[in-house]
Structure 1
Amino acid sequence: MHRYTETTRRYALHARLLWRAAPAHSALNLLLVVASAATVTFGIVATGRLVGALPAAVNAGAGSAAADRAWWWLAAAAAAYILAPLIHAVHNAVTQVVSARYLRLVFGMVADVGTVPYGIAHLEDPEVAGRLDAVKRAMRDWTFVTGVDETWNLLANRLTGAGALIVVATWNWWAALLAAGSYALLAKVFVAWIGTIFDDLLEATGNQRRQASYVRDLMTGAPAAKELRLFGLADWLVHRYSTAWRDAMTVVWRNRQRNLRPILVTCAIMLVVNAGVLALLARDASAGTVSLASLVTLVQGLLALEAFGPLGDNQSALARNTSATTMLVALRARLGLPDLPALPNLPDLPDLSPRSPAGRTPETSAATRTAGAEIDLRDVTFHYPSRDEPTVERLSLHIPAGQSVAVVGVNGAGKSTLIKLLCGLHPPDAGTIRIDGGDPSADEATRNRVAVIFQDFVRYHLPLRDNVGFGAHARHDDEVVLAKALDDAGGTTLLSRLEHGWDTVLSAEYAGGTDLSGGQWQRVALARALAAVAGGAGVLVLDEPTAALDVRAEAALFDRFLEMTRGMTTLLVSHRLSSVRHADRIVVIGPTGDPARTGTSVIEDGSHAELMAAGGAYARMFSLQAARFAAAGAGGTDAGRTGGTAGTAVEPR
């Protein structure tokens, strides 16, 4: 009973989605479906009456009243059979509109799950991420789209069955109900069976199938092709894929077999009931209580009652669709989102066409147009859900507006976590974080004051214009801003080498596109951060985005960055201490040494000279890295490169 109630609930949700996506077209389609079912039912009746009228018409001859009746029923049957496909054609055209708007609505709902909650904790939760991935994969399957299209055909079939039920009931109401009921029982059992299979595919096998898909992509994609061949991984990956896939599908296969028995039983019931009803009709026809016309009509009606039964691939596609949308709505509820969005339309994309802004001087740096912001962290504590101990504990830090601060620390000290908290990507468990008095975890305007380039920054497979312009929310089409930001990031020569300039797609996977080296990508990412100032950012954070550069290039870039952003509030995170020593202030975070505090906090704070004079953790790390640089230089190698590598080994992130 629970399964049948769940099926009804899913169909109700599906109907709400259709109505929300395209109310007018859905209403029109509903009218067309009713008209189609009525036309088919009338065709059944007209055909029976035509067959019944033919003997009398033949006997009476042309021009007789009997012949006129036969001609009338012939015209009626012909009209029904001509009108039905015409209605179906119009219905199909309207269905395409409904389906397109339905898909736009549902895909927008998926995008909401990934983007509307500002924090990223839900995307880092394996359960939520696995379910979201399962929903996305289900929506890429052809059955999901087919399920939308076939909704109306399934409804038309059911209504045709209802018309046939009325026709058969004029002969014997209880026989009609028995026959229709046997088909309906089979349909319910089938829907429950197929729904269980699709739920298993989405829920019980989500992680295993995701792993199998990952291994499959490794075998068939370009990124891992070199190592796969170099290390001879092909056979191992094939075995791993088959094992993961078999483990994933075992649950599905087991449930298929276990739940198949009810289907076989209901099939037997349906066969027995329909055989009995046909036998009863044959008896009445032999006794003369059923005329020839009625016999033809009733046989067609009994055959049409099959519309109450399972409808094959069409019904399977709808089950696939409703299973995915039900999980999607459950995910939205878990994240505090409404079941359905307020509006069916996705927002229009902004105009990205280049314009020549008036009244701007190209000489003005894109990174000096907004005043720096004040940062204040008080007794901040935070721990990840997967960990019992806090990553950051009672951390307090005040950064005046316009100051440049370097954040350093040993591996796992919480540097990246601190940046995430500053961006509002995670709210703190305790304490407060304020940027110019605003809370970045709760206030969008405050979040817009922070621009960050992470070490794992995104390489957008989009034109250079977008890759830089995404930093400037309201001025991404301003080529003066973009050009200055790219120049300040040291990427001017990059622009001159691109065949299509700003409109060159930064991916070799697209016609006319090109890929960039690691260093070039980092300059583009830096330009994006600098462009963000034009969009109102007051805090610039570089979270080790220059790892692909050698230590000298990184130090030079940081020095230039500090010069360009003078007056802005800047945070530099780097494992190479020589690269950040020119910052106004250096903050070292790490374990406090207090047994009662397991998380990290600020352990040293001062300028490079002050911390070196203090002889603490910073001085020890700096001296160790400097010694390795010197040893590398004495060995005749590139001191910068080797030193950078050695520095990474000493103090990784």
Structure 2
Amino acid sequence: MHRHTEAIRRYVLHARLLWRAAPVHSVLSLFLVVAGAASSTFAIIATGHLVGALPAAVKAGVGSQAADRAWWWLAMAAAAYVLGPLVKAAQNAVAQVVSARYLRLVFGMVADVGTAPHGIAHLENPEVAGRLDAIKRAMRDWTFVSGVDWTWSLLSIRLGGVGSLIVVATWNWWAALLAAGSHALLAKVYGAWIGTIFDDLLEVTGNQRRQASYVRDLMTGAPAAKELRLFGLADWLVHRYSTAWRDAMTVVWRNRYRNLRPILAACAIMLVVNAGVFALLARDASAGTVSLASLVTVVQALLALEAFGSLGDGQSALARNTSATSMLVALRGRIGLSGLPPRSPAEPVGADPEPLRTARTGAAEIDLRDVAFHYPTRTEPTLDRLSLHVPAGQSVAIVGVNGAGKSTLIKLLCGLYPPDSGTIRIDGGDPSADEATRNRVAVIFQDFVRYQLPLRDNVGFGAHTRHDDEAVLARALGDAGGTTLLDRLDHGWDTVLSAEYAEGTDLSGGQWQRVALARALAAVAGGAGVLVLDEPTAALDVRAEAALFDRFLEVTRGMTTLLVSHRLSSVRHADRIVVIGPTDDPARTGTGIIEDGSHEELMAAGGAYARMFSLQAARFAAAGASETAVDPR
């Protein structure tokens, strides 16, 4: 009963999605489906009457009333058989429009899961990430797309079955119900079997299949090809892939074979019932209670009752579709989104979104008061009652040992996580709740994205409202030290930064650093009031990192800037240095601010910062580092 109720709920959801995506075309498709079903039923009736009229027409001869009746039924049958394909062709044409809009709607719903919530905690949740990955994989499969197209064909077949049921009922109503019911029983059992398999693929095997797919991609992709050959990993990866895939599919295979028994039983019942119904029809025909016309008509209708039964690939494709969309709607509800979007997107596919606009420009003020935060997977807080005020236009370096919470602090400042307690304000706005406030912050993270898109986009993404303004882009790239990079690209701003594309090119690590820096600098033109470097130069040597930070401070003078680095020599020229780490307060289990001042002040104080700086300076000096890069004065 639960499976049957769930199937009905999924079909209702499917109908709502079709209506939300293309209401007018869905109604037109439904009309054509009904017309097609009616034409197929009428073709059965007309054929039966034609066959029944032929003996009398042959006996009476041409020109007789019986012959005219036969000619009339021949014309009706021909019209029905011609009309059916025409209606089917029209239905397919309209269905393609519905399918395209439906797919745009559901793909947009998937994109919302990744982008609509500003926070990223849900994407870091293994269960949510696993379900989202399973949904994306299901929607890339051909059965998901064909499931939308099959909707109308399956409905047409089912409605044709209703017409056939009515025809058979004119002979014997209870025999008609028995025959149709036997087919429906098989369809129900088969549908439950298919639904269980698809649900297992999406819900139970998500993580294992992700691991198997990851190993497969390692074996077949370019990024790992060198190490795979160098370390002789091919055989090990093949074994790991087969093991992971077998573990993932064990549940599916077990349920698949265990649930075959009800299907076999339903097949046996259908065979027995239909054999009995045909035997009953033969008895009535031999007794003369059924005319030749009725016999032919009822036989055709009985054969057409298979429309109530299992419909093979079409039914499987629709089950795959409804299983994936049902999980998608449930996942959206779990992360706080509405199950269905308010309406189908009105803008054409490929249209650029309206540029985001901010209410304020210029340097922004930052104020954090008693901020506490802990990750869901940890019991101890990462930050505990941290307070920090940064006046507009000040450059501040955030330093501390690994794990002190530097990057977490930046993510909170960006609104990627809401604090557990306390307040975070940028020019008085809350970045976790206000999009205009979030737009005031531009960050280059250590793992910044290397977009496989033109240079124009890689830089312009930072400037929400000035994306196509080449003067803005050129200034940002020049301030980042990337002018020579632009001169070397064959197609200038339109060069795709990936060697995987025709006429594209890849960049060196240092060149990507400049592009990422230009993206942050371009954000100023888009309204950013706080610029953050969160250890994006960790892969560079000390001298290169120090030069980049110094250039950043030079070109952003007058802006509010935050620099995060574990190399203290790179950030010593900031106006102010804030050291975070474990405090002396026994009541606080997380980290907080333990020192705050300029480089000179902190060195004179001889505290944690001075000790860390001197230790790094000594290590770099021993390694032959530049005296300029390590001079603690």
Q: Which amino acid aligns with 1:403?
A: Q
1:476 equivalent to 2:467? Answer: yes
Q: CA deviation at 1:72?
A: 0.6
SS in 1 for 2:424: strand
Which residue is 1:547 aligned to?
A: 538
CA distance in 2, matches of 1:567, 1:277: 90
CA distance in 1, matches of 2:60, 2:172: 32
8 Å contact kept, 2:369–2:387: yes
Which residue is 1:81 aligned to?
A: 81
In structure 2, do the counterparts of structure 1 residues 640 and 8 end up closer, same or farther at CA, with 3 Å as the change threshold?
Answer: farther
8 Å contact kept, 1:180–1:305: yes
SS in 2 for 1:432: strand
Show CA shifts across 1:438-472 (max 9, x none): 10000111101100010100111111000000000
CA distance in 2, matches of 1:254, 1:299: 40
8 Å contact kept, 1:404–1:569: yes
Q: CA deviation at 1:150?
A: 0.2
Which residue is 1:134 aligned to?
A: 134
Show CA shifts across 1:44-97 (max 9, x none): 000010000000000000000000000111111111111111111111111110
Show CA shifts across 1:250-306 (max 9, x none): 000111111111111111111111111000000000100011111110000000000
CA distance in 2, matches of 1:202, 1:220: 24
Show CA shifts across 1:380-418 (max 9, x none): 000011111111111111111110000011110011100
Matches within 5 A, 1:76-475: 76-345=76-345, 347=347, 370-475=361-466
Q: Which amino acid aligns with 2:606?
A: G
8 Å contact kept, 1:586–1:605: yes
1:513 equivalent to 2:504? Answer: yes
CA distance in 2, matches of 1:350, 1:16: 25
Which residue is 1:361 aligned to?
A: none
8 Å contact kept, 1:551–1:640: no
Q: CA deviation at 1:549?
A: 2.5
Show CA shifts across 1:331-372 (max 9, x none): 1111221121112116565669xxxxxxxxxxxxxxxx9421
Give the TM-score taking structure 1 as reference length. Answer: 0.94
Q: Which amino acid aligns with 2:553?
A: L
Q: CA deviation at 1:576?
A: 1.2
Q: Which amino acid aligns with 1:392?
A: L
8 Å contact kept, 2:402–2:566: no
1:577 equivalent to 2:568? Answer: yes
CA distance in 1, matches of 2:89, 2:555: 65
Q: Which amino acid aligns with 2:240?
A: R
CA distance in 1, matches of 2:408, 2:293: 81
Compare 559-568 and 529-538 and name the one that shifted more.
Answer: 559-568
SS in 2 for 1:458: coil
Give the TM-score taking structure 2 as reference length. Answer: 0.97
Q: How many residues align?
A: 623
Q: Which amino acid aligns with 1:629?
A: F
8 Å contact kept, 1:552–1:640: no
Which residue is 1:648 aligned to?
A: none
SS in 2 for 1:548: coil
Matches within 5 A, 1:480-499: 480-499=471-490
CA distance in 2, matches of 1:336, 1:628: 50
Which residue is 2:522 aligned to?
A: 531
SS in 2 for 1:533: coil
SS in 1 for 2:577: strand
Q: Which amino acid aligns with 1:231?
A: F
Which residue is 1:624 aligned to?
A: 615
1:559 equivalent to 2:550? Answer: yes
Q: CA deviation at 1:596?
A: 2.9
CA distance in 2, matches of 1:31, 1:346: 24
SS in 1 for 2:15: helix
User: After TM superposition, what 4+ stretches of structure 1 lie above 4 angstroms from structure 2?
Assistant: 346-352, 638-641
8 Å contact kept, 1:507–1:514: yes
Q: CA deviation at 1:26?
A: 0.5
Flag structure 1 segments of 5+ consecutive residues without an equivalent. Answer: 353-368, 645-653
8 Å contact kept, 1:18–1:26: yes
CA distance in 2, matches of 1:347, 1:413: 46
8 Å contact kept, 1:472–1:533: yes
Flag structure 2 segments of 5+ consecutive residues without an equivalent. Answer: 354-359
Show CA shifts across 1:109-166 (max 9, x none): 0011111111001001111110001000000000000100000000000000000000
CA distance in 2, matches of 1:476, 1:6: 47
CA distance in 2, matches of 1:113, 1:640: 50
In structure 2, do the counterparts of structure 1 residues 350 and 532 end up closer, same or farther at CA, with 3 Å as the change threshold?
Answer: farther
CA distance in 1, matches of 2:56, 2:361: 95
Q: CA deviation at 1:244?
A: 0.6
CA distance in 1, matches of 2:423, 2:352: 38
CA distance in 1, matches of 2:17, 2:391: 50
SS in 1 for 2:371: strand
Which residue is 2:64 aligned to?
A: 64
Q: CA deviation at 1:640?
A: 8.7
Q: CA deviation at 1:639?
A: 4.6
Q: Which amino acid aligns with 2:405?
A: G
Which residue is 2:600 aligned to?
A: 609
CA distance in 2, matches of 1:16, 1:138: 20
In structure 2, do the counterparts of structure 1 residues 350 and 171 end up closer, same or farther at CA, with 3 Å as the change threshold?
Answer: closer
Q: CA deviation at 1:28?
A: 0.5
CA distance in 1, matches of 2:262, 2:352: 57
CA distance in 2, matches of 1:292, 1:640: 108
CA distance in 2, matches of 1:192, 1:308: 15
SS in 1 for 2:377: coil
Q: Which amino acid aligns with 1:303?
A: L
Show CA shifts across 1:501-554 (max 9, x none): 000011111111111111111100000000000010000000011223321122
CA distance in 2, matches of 1:616, 1:292: 107
CA distance in 2, matches of 1:120, 1:351: 24
Q: CA deviation at 1:594?
A: 3.3
SS in 2 for 1:252: helix
Query: RMSD over aligned Cα, in angstroms?
Result: 1.4
Show CA shifts across 1:621-649 (max 9, x none): 1111111121111xxxx6599x89xxxxx
SS in 2 for 1:254: helix
In structure 2, do the counterparts of structure 1 residues 351 and 48 end up closer, same or farther at CA, with 3 Å as the change threshold?
Answer: closer
Q: CA deviation at 1:593?
A: 3.5
Q: CA deviation at 1:598?
A: 1.8
CA distance in 1, matches of 2:556, 2:538: 21
Q: Which amino acid aligns with 1:406?
A: A
SS in 2 for 1:540: strand
CA distance in 1, matches of 2:612, 2:228: 38
Which residue is 1:362 aligned to?
A: none
8 Å contact kept, 1:52–1:293: yes
Which residue is 2:356 aligned to?
A: none
Q: Which amino acid aligns with 1:112?
A: D
8 Å contact kept, 2:621–2:627: no
Give % identity.
Answer: 85
Q: Which amino acid aligns with 2:163?
A: G
